[in-house]
Amino acid sequence: MKAAVLLIFLVVPSCLLGQGEVVRRKHYNIKNDIGVDGYDPVTYFEGGPKEGRETIKFSYKGVTYFFSSPNTLNKFKSDPDRYEPAYGGWCAYAMGEKGEKVKVDPETFKIVEGRLYLFYNFWGNNTLEDWNENEKKLKEAADRNWLATIK
End-to-end CA distance of the chain: 31
**Does the structure show a pLDDT above 50 at 10?**
no
- Given a cut of 50, whether residue 76 has pLDDT beyond it is yes
CA pair distance 100, 94, nearest whole angstrom: 5
Mode of pairing for the β-strands spanning 115-119 and 105-112: antiparallel
pLDDT at residue 99 tops 50: yes
Higher-confidence residue: 95 or 14? Answer: 95
Digit-coded pLDDT (tens) for 41-72: 999 999 999 999 999 999 999 999 999 999 99
Which one-letter DSSP state was computed for residue 64?
E
User: Do strands 125-126 and 121-122 pair parallel, antiparallel, or not at all (unpaired)?
Assistant: antiparallel
- pLDDT band, residue 23 (cuts 50/70/90): confident
Cβ within 8 Å of residue 9, ≥6 positions away:
none
Which pLDDT tens digit goes with each residue over 108-131?
999 999 999 999 999 999 999 999
> What sign for the dihedral angle of Cα 42, 57, 36, 78?
negative
33 band by pLDDT with thresholds 50, 70 and 90: confident
**pLDDT given for residue 19 in this prediction:** 52
What whole-number distance in Å separates Cα of residue 40 and Cα of residue 51? Answer: 6
Between vectors from CA 146 to CA 81 and to CA 4, what angle results, nearest 5°?
55
Lowest mean pLDDT among 19-23, 100-104, 146-150: 19-23
Residue 24 is predicted with a pLDDT of: 77
Tell me the sheet residues that pair with 24. none
